Amino acid sequence: MTQHDDPELREPDLPRTAKVRKQALRTGWTTGSCAAAAAKAATTALTTGETQATVEIGLPSGQRVRFPVDKCTTSETEAEAVVVKDAGDDPDVTHGARLTATVSWRKDPGLELDGGVGVGVVTKPGLGLELGAPAINPVPRAMITQSVGEAIDLAQKGVYVIISVPDGEKMARKTTNARLGIIGGISILGTTGIVRPFSTASWRASVEQAISVLAAQREDTVVLCTGGRTEKGAMTLLPDLPEVCFVEVGDFTGAALRRAVEHGLTRVIFAGMAGKLTKLAAGVLMTHYTRSKVSLNLLKDITLAAGGDHDLAERVARANTARHAAELWEEAGLLPAAGRELCARAARVLSRFCAEQAAREDQTTPEVHVIMVDFTGQTKIAEAAV
């Protein structure tokens, strides 16, 4: 891509409903946490014959959290428990959802997990889940298994767990699930178990504050990470940097870069997965899902630039998600080259944005590095620098 072809830099405004918060933001719980809590409560009720009023589970961080159980019923063969989702101050369509676990015995030891009413079914590739499977992501699956395993010994006994969400299909209409090929309900999501209000003006302020803190400690490098998984992975990839240098930036890359330049930081490292990097490579510096979409045409162009043939490029242009595009690159043996091209384009955009800010602030433009990680957040696929 020539300088002439470089994309216009855009930093869309926040949705109006996410702008003004007069008080500190309250965190909440993911659908995954609530499903795990409901599953443990129902399993405990099935085992003991006693209904449960509260239930405690472990989050991936090791933190223990106790949830109220809204409803719990039991019989000799089956138990059911409901945990109502509290999303905190995040503008979340699943706030108030009734995560319901129905648990029954099975012959073989272990846990068999299925989705019931209101939980979507996966019908397209690119989501990291099997086609035809319920849209229950890997971390929630592991949390459900761990939580049920705290109630019974899964090496000795077996249970069948169905997670359902009454009104889940209605809630899903307000999400992008149908476009992604998740049909019939919501997804059971979460990587930390905690909903942090990324989508608000106050979160942007916390990002800016974090950069001010690291600058005050005379650090000259900031590592911007899109979420919890990428932050953990970046810390592993960059072990020589102190923890204060790592900032979970959410959607607010532009705001973070502006503050980094103001403080005269000399190096910016951005670590992210394919979707966020594609938005950045297209010139979008505020990547809230309501304000930006992944450009499949850009991914098609990257495929050709990395040496892919026209057939692969056309398949990438029809991909379901950026993750699906990356999977197509991997199948074709093009992932490292296409990943480097994607990182290079994202790095050029970030560097141009920093240069514009530096000119205003009479500062030096920081060196920019971009690292593409896989969908665990732990493995580096490619990198580029400007």
> pLDDT tens, 199-224?
456 567 678 878 988 898 889 999 99
114 Cα distance to chain centroid: 22
Q: What is the pLDDT of residue 242?
A: 92
Instruction: Give the confidence band of 252 by pLDDT, cuts at 50, 70, 90.
Output: confident
The pLDDT of 290-316, averaged and rounded, is 89
Q: What is the pLDDT of residue 263?
A: 93
Instruction: Give the confidence band of 17 by pLDDT, cuts at 50, 70, 90.
Output: very low
pLDDT of 4 > 50? The answer is no
Instruction: Give the confidence band of 287 by pLDDT, cuts at 50, 70, 90.
Output: low
The whole-chain average pLDDT of the chain stands at 89
pLDDT of 194 > 80? The answer is no
Number of H helices, E strands in the chain: 12, 18
Backbone angles phi, psi at 49, to 5 degrees: 80, 5
Q: What is the pLDDT of residue 201?
A: 61
Distance CA 313, CA 281 (A): 17
Ranges of CATH 3.30.2110.10 domains, the chain: 28-195
Q: What is the pLDDT of residue 376?
A: 85
Q: What is the pLDDT of residue 51?
A: 97
Beta bridge partners of 114: 162
CB 329 within 8 A of CB 227: no
Residue ranges of alpha helices (H) inside 133-286 are: 138-151, 168-172, 177-180, 201-216, 228-237, 253-262, 274-281
The pLDDT of 187-206, averaged and rounded, is 70
Q: What is the pLDDT of residue 202?
A: 59
CB 44 within 8 A of CB 52: yes
pLDDT of 227 > 90? The answer is no
Distance CA 193, CA 251 (A): 19
The pLDDT of 95-111, averaged and rounded, is 97
Q: What is the pLDDT of residue 335?
A: 94
pLDDT of 66 > 60? The answer is yes
Q: What is the pLDDT of residue 24?
A: 55
**What superfamily would CATH give domain 28-195?**
CbiD-like (3.30.2110.10)
The pLDDT of 72-95, averaged and rounded, is 89
Of residues 201 and 114, more confidence is placed in: 114
The pLDDT of 20-35, averaged and rounded, is 76
Of residues 350 and 252, more confidence is placed in: 350
The pLDDT of 19-35, averaged and rounded, is 75
Distance CA 37, CA 161 (A): 12
CB 142 within 8 A of CB 30: no
> pLDDT tens, 68-80?
999 999 998 999 9
The pLDDT of 293-314, averaged and rounded, is 94
Q: What is the pLDDT of residue 19?
A: 47
The pLDDT of 18-38, averaged and rounded, is 77
Q: What is the pLDDT of residue 13?
A: 60
- Spell 302-336 as b/e; 16+ CB within 10 A means b: bbebbebeeebbebbbebbbbbbbbbbbeebebbe
Q: Per-residue DSSP letters for 57-121? A: EE-TTS-EEEEE-SEEEE-SSEEEEEEE---TTS--TTTT-EEEEEEEEESSSEEEEEE-TEE-E
> pLDDT tens, 310-355?
999 999 999 999 999 999 999 999 999 999 999 999 999 999 999 9
The amino acid present at 61, given as its one-letter code, is S
Q: What is the pLDDT of residue 212?
A: 87
121-122 and 246-248: which strand pairing? unpaired
The pLDDT of 362-383, averaged and rounded, is 92
The pLDDT of 126-138, averaged and rounded, is 90
357 Cα distance to chain centroid: 29
The pLDDT of 185-197, averaged and rounded, is 80
**Spatial CB neighbours of 235, under 8 Å, sequence gap ≥ 6:** 241, 243, 246
pLDDT of 12 > 60? The answer is yes
Q: What is the pLDDT of residue 265?
A: 96
Distance CA 316, CA 16 (A): 33
Instruction: Give the confidence band of 3 by pLDDT, cuts at 50, 70, 90.
Output: very low
